[in-house]
A and B are shown apart, each in its own frame.
Chain A
Amino acid sequence: MDMDAIFLARIQFAFTITFHIIFPSFSIGLAAFIATLLVRWRMTGEERYRTLARFWTKIFAVSFAMGVVSGIVLSYQIGTNWARFSTVAGNVIGPLLGYEVLTAFFLEATFLGIMLFGWQRVPPNLHVLSAILVALGTSISAFWILSANSWMQTPAGYEMKDGIAYPVDWFKIVFNPSFPYRFSHMFTAAYLTTSLVVLSVGARYLVANRFIEESKTMIRMGLGMVAILAPLQLFIGDAHGLNTAEHQPVKVAAMEAHWDGSKPGELLLFAWPDAKAEKNHFEIGIPHLASLIITHRMDGLFKGLKDFKAEDRPPLIPVFFAFRAMVGIGLLMIAIGFVGAFLWWRRKLFDSTWYLRPLTYAWPLGFIAIIAGWWVTETGRQPYLVYGVLRTLDGVSPVAFGAVLTTLILFVLIYTSVFSMGIYYINRLIEKGPQGAAIASGGDPSVGAHPLTAAKDAARSALGTGE
């Protein structure tokens, strides 16, 4: 396989996995949010919780479907694009993915049926339990897939024989050195992302004077999570960074565009790293701050890019800038949480339009940060597929250039059109808002029982066609 085909295979995989990650990171948090709403409804008997649970379940269904179909693609693309990798790392990675299917995918996919269609088909407690099981499934799924990914970053518990990895200690494989950090970081990110979406949607309604009770509940729950999780994420991210500095120093050097390991690193607010000239242009930085962050000492030294051979360095531009995007959004989230908590404490939260109005546009922030974070860690792992074990160039499938190019074009066309439609429909559901009254009053049973029927009716009336 020639270099161009390898490059296309990488683009294709990066494209499909970037698209995919949007949906599970939303589903993980949203499933937990819906389960929480349903539990609170059962405990307090307050109808607004159930109204909100129904509303978000409709959105969950659309988002989950997109996650499922883009996920199936990935479970086969490891083979279509990375057949050599499958052979070399299959003994280790395969069982982790196998356990993901067995412990998570079946659980969430099966109980999703009851969660979506069982509102009146099963007793309420069983329905709530189904929502909890779906949430549990999404979390277990994150556990295994992050374990597999972490093993590719910091492989452990294996031995190489004739160029193939054989498992030696499964505990060390599953709980490899970067896994606890990556898992906490991603899991918190998923919750944070969903919380911000909930907060943003709540703000959208309140600013527009719609669904007052529901929007206040959403703002309180969303903001509460953001205020706690955003600062917490700073500490988790810091710990994750220290772990990366220990196991993948070249990735950290690329994140900071730090060339000379014999000098303390400055924190670059902006720079244009030049891989050929081995230096940065247009540097704006704060001296010693990178050393302080990475080594927790003002004059601490950490390895620079020049400490590694040029062919062992990752691409600098995406790693450097994606890292800044992620951290920047993280700091913005901390600010959102802090200001919001302050307003809440002063009892001005629901009247502070200057705060709520910009928040209505804040919903994509978490997704952007997650994608940026994954670009940092995945691009930062290059030129390796399994860090230090298998180079990306040696992991590809023997597939021809034309075939990869054709399918890449198809993926781009189909994903962008299908998933744009999905986001359009989600936006339409949000525009329509929670439909509580008909359900609360017992109204038309078909509306209550079938979230999609409810969605259909909603769409009909929204388009003014009636039925």
Chain B
Amino acid sequence: MDTMSYALPLIWAAILAVGVTLYVILDGFGLGLGILFHFERREPQRDVIMNTIAPFWDGNQTWLVLGGGGLLAAFPKAYGLVMSGLYIPIIVMLLALVFRGVAFEFRWVAKPRQEFWDLAFSWGALVATFAQGVVLGGLLQGLSAQDGLYTGGTFDWLTPFSLFCGVSLIAGYALLGTTWLIYKTDGELQEWARDAAKIALLLVVVATAIISLWTPLSVARIAERWFSWPNILLFSPVPLITLYAAYRCWRGIDTIVGNDAEPFIAAVAMFLLGFLGLVISNVPYLVPGALTVWEAAAAPSSQLFMLVGTLLLLPIILGYTVFVYWTFRGKVRPGEGYH
């Protein structure tokens, strides 16, 4: 294997990891707000919740398209395998996102008869989140494949582990959503978000702990990765820093007169560390147990052609994304919308 066909797949895996992470964080808090709709039923409050994300949701969701498009472009074999193996949860996620996405516009146009789109928004978010968690769980437990093509059954993904991952992600996105609300709102709604954030944080800590034990217990390869010497020493900072981030998150939620961004930043840090943990568990696999980054990689010329554009365009994309967030910075207040 020459340097090019060794390095390019690694670079692409890193780019996709950045893309997926950005999606999980950005659309994560968006879906989290949808999950909160189940608990906040008053219309003015729901309006504010939605307005905190209305200008951004579309850009946020585009990272999911980058995930699909990037996977197809850089790792076509993995793309085909994952989409066939996790067919049901992926289609369910997409259909749920249809409801969630159109609700952003339909809910306003339908007023005052927006109840259905409130449900579409809240259930769309809940189901999409759950399905994403199941996809993650299904990936972690591995897909049976031969020559890069899926050979398993329609419901192979359906295990207690994948279902638990689905439930855990609901708690995770709810944490991102509540901490985002703390950052973007004030007054009574912010207080409500602080209370909800505490519950979400506790659930996330418990769920993370369970998954962190469950994964190595069920996959020997992952246990070997974490608990062999000297890895156990090398990787032990990951759970420890995660615990510290959780502590900072709690403190941020609890401190009324503090930096309102802190809980959100700490929650994001927890997600980043969790993702790092997944990477440590599964390197060099792209589809755990089935395809390594090199086995799944597209032709080097394809990866190179895409890389040139990506290195040029990704900074520009990040630049104008930041610009739009900056444009709509500050607290969102009831009845205000954007002006």
Are B108 and A456 in contact (CB-based, < 8 A)?
A: yes
Partner of B106, one of A101, A410, A421, A448: A421
B66 near A79 with CB under 8 A, answer: no
Does A301 sit within 8 A of B, measured CB to CB?
A: no
State whether the Cβ of A308 lies closer than 8 Å to any Cβ in chain B. no
Chain B residues with CB under 8 A of A83? 79-81, 83-84, 149-150
Partner of A73, one of B61, B84, B94: B94
Q: Which residues of B from 62 to 82 have beta carbons under 8 Å from A?
A: 62, 64-66, 68-74, 76-77, 79-82
Q: Is B56's CB within 8 Å of the partner chain A? A: yes
Q: Please give me the residue from chain A that is nearest to B99 by CB atom.
A: A418
Chain A residues near B74 (CB, 8 Å)?
94, 98
Contact bitstring A321-357, B, C-beta under 8 A = 1, else 0: 0000000000000000000000000000000000000
Q: Which residues of A contact B336 (CB under 8 A)?
A: 446
Is A453 in the interface zone, CB < 8 Å from B? yes
Of residues 444 through 458 on chain A, the ones whose CB sits less than 8 Å from some CB of chain B are 445-446, 448-450, 452-453, 455-456
Residues of A within 8 Å of B82, CB to CB, are 79
Which residues A102-123 have CB closer than 8 A to chain B? 102-103, 105-107, 109-114, 116-122
Residues 410 to 461 of chain A near chain B (Cβ within 8 Å): 410-411, 414-415, 418, 421-422, 425, 428-429, 445-446, 448-450, 452-453, 455-456, 459-460
Q: Which residue of B lies closest to A466 (CB)?
A: B112
B327 at the interface (CB under 8 A from A): yes
Q: In the complex, are the beta carbons of A422 and B106 less than 8 A apart?
A: yes
A389 CB, min distance to chain B CBs, angstroms: 15
* Interface footprint category on B: 35 or more
Instruction: Report A-chain residues with C-beta under 8 Å of the C-beta of B70.
Output: 98, 101
Chain B, range 292-313, C-beta contacts under 8 Å to A: 298-299, 301-302, 305-306, 309-310, 313
**Quick check: A397 and B84 within 8 Å, CB to CB?**
yes
Min CB distance B29 to A, Å, is: 15
Within 8 Å by CB of B65, from A71, A398, A403, lies: A71
Minimal beta-carbon separation of B132 from chain A (angstroms) = 12
Contacts A84-B80, A106-B317, A446-B337 known; A167 to B301 CB distance under 8 Å? yes
1/0 contact string of A20-39 vs chain B (CB within 8 Å): 00000000000000000000
B97 touches A69 (CB 8 A): yes
Chain B residues, Cβ within 8 Å of A217: none
- Quick one: which of A162-218 are within 8 Å of B by CB? 166-167, 170
Which residue of chain A has its CB nearest to the CB of B93? A76
* Cβ distance A83 to chain B, nearest Cβ, rounded Å: 3
Q: Which single member of A100, A113, A411 contacts B95 (CB below 8 Å)?
A: A411
Chain A contacts for B112, CB-based, 8 A: 459-460, 463, 465
Are B302 and A167 within 8 A (Cβ)? yes
In the complex, the answer to whether A99 meets B80 with C-beta atoms within 8 Å is no
Q: Does B280 contact A (CB under 8 A)?
A: no
Known: A71-B65, A90-B76, A446-B336. A116 touches B55 (CB 8 A): yes
Q: Closest A-chain residue to B317, C-beta based?
A: A106
Q: Of A64, A78, A83, which is in contact with the most chain B CB atoms at under 10 Å from its CB?
A: A83
B313: chain A residues within 8 A (beta carbon): 102-103
Interface centre among B112, B299, B309, B335 (most CB of A within 10 A): B299
Q: Does A269 contact B (CB under 8 A)?
A: no
**B115 interface contact, C-beta 8 A:** no
Q: Which residues of A contact B98 (CB under 8 A)?
A: 69-70, 73, 414-415, 418
A105 partner residues in chain B, CB cutoff 8 A: 62, 65-66
Name B100's closest neighbour in chain A (CB-CB).
A69
- Asked whether, in the complex, the Cβ of A425 is within 8 Å of the Cβ of B69, the reply is no
Q: State whether B76 touches A91 (Cβ < 8 A).
A: yes
Closest residue to A126 on the B side, CB-wise?
A: B327
Are B68 and A68 touching (Cβ within 8 A)?
A: no
Interface members, chain B 100-134 (any A CB < 8 Å): 101-102, 104-106, 108-113
Contacting residues, chain B, for A277 (C-beta < 8 A): none
A66 at the B interface (CB under 8 A): yes
Number of A residues contacting the other chain (C-beta, 8 Å)?
Answer: 85
| Cβ of A17 under 8 Å from chain B | no
Looking across the interface, which residue of chain A has its beta carbon closest to that of B83?
Answer: A79
| B-chain residues with CB within 8 Å of residue A69 when the two chains form the complex | 97-98, 101-102
Is residue A291 contacting chain B, with contact meaning CB distance below 8 A? no
Q: Are A65 and B94 in contact (CB under 8 A)?
A: no
Does B239 belong to the interface (CB within 8 Å)? no
Contact indicator A79/B79 (Cβ below 8 Å): yes
**Does A365 interact with chain B (Cβ within 8 Å)?**
no
Measured CA separation A66–B98 after assembly (Å): 8
**Taking A75-B69, A102-B309, A397-B83 as contacts, is the C-beta distance between A91 and B298 under 8 angstroms?**
yes
Interface SS majority for chain A: helix
* A residues near B153, Cβ cutoff 8 Å: 400
A76-B83 in contact (CB<8A) = yes
Chain A residue nearest to B155 in the complex (CB): A403
Q: Are A109 and B62 in contact (CB under 8 A)?
A: yes
Find residues 250-307 in chain A having any chain B CB closer than 8 Å to their own CB: none
Contacting pair B154 A109 (CB below 8 A):
no
| Residue from the set A98, A166, A403, A450 with the largest chain B CB neighbour count within 10 Å | A98
Distance between Cα atoms of A119 and B338 in the complex (Å): 9
A62 — which chain B residues lie within 8 A by C-beta?
Answer: 105-106, 109
Residue numbers in A under 8 Å from B95 (CB-CB): 73, 410-411, 414
Select one of A68, A94, A398, A403 contacting B76, CB under 8 A: A94
* Residue contact B80 to A110, C-beta cutoff 8 Å: no
B residues less than 8 Å from A92 (CB atoms) = 302
A73-B98, A86-B76, A102-B310 known; A117 vs B84 contact (CB < 8 Å): no
B91 within 8 A of A: yes
Contact B328 A117 (CB under 8 A): yes
| Cβ contacts under 8 Å, A87 to chain B | 76-77, 80, 148-149
Report the Cα distance A116→B309, complex, angstroms: 29
Whole-angstrom distance between the Cβ of A89 and the nearest chain B Cβ:
8
A66 surroundings in chain B (CB, below 8 A): 102
- Residues on A with C-beta less than 8 A from B77 are 86-87, 90
Say yes or no: is A8 at the interface (Cβ < 8 Å to chain B). no
Q: What residues of A have a CB within 8 angstroms of the CB of B305 in the complex?
A: 95, 167, 170
Answer yes or no: B58 CB below 8 A from chain A CBs: yes
List chain A residues, Cβ under 8 A from B56.
113
Cβ of A362 within 8 Å of any chain B Cβ, yes or no, is: no
Assembly CA distance A93 to B299 (angstroms): 12
Q: What are 28 A-B pairs with beta-carbon distances under 8 A?
A: A64-B58, A68-B101, A77-B94, A83-B80, A83-B149, A86-B76, A87-B149, A90-B73, A90-B76, A90-B79, A95-B302, A98-B70, A98-B72, A99-B309, A101-B70, A105-B62, A110-B59, A113-B328, A117-B337, A118-B338, A166-B299, A167-B301, A167-B305, A170-B305, A407-B87, A414-B99, A448-B339, A465-B112
Contacts A65-B102, A399-B87, A428-B109 known; 15 new A-B pairs at CB < 8 A: A70-B98, A78-B72, A84-B149, A86-B80, A94-B79, A95-B298, A101-B62, A117-B338, A166-B301, A397-B80, A398-B150, A414-B99, A450-B337, A456-B111, A463-B112
10 closest A-B pairs by beta carbon, nearest first, are A90-B76, A79-B83, A449-B339, A83-B80, A94-B73, A113-B55, A450-B337, A98-B73, A452-B108, A69-B101
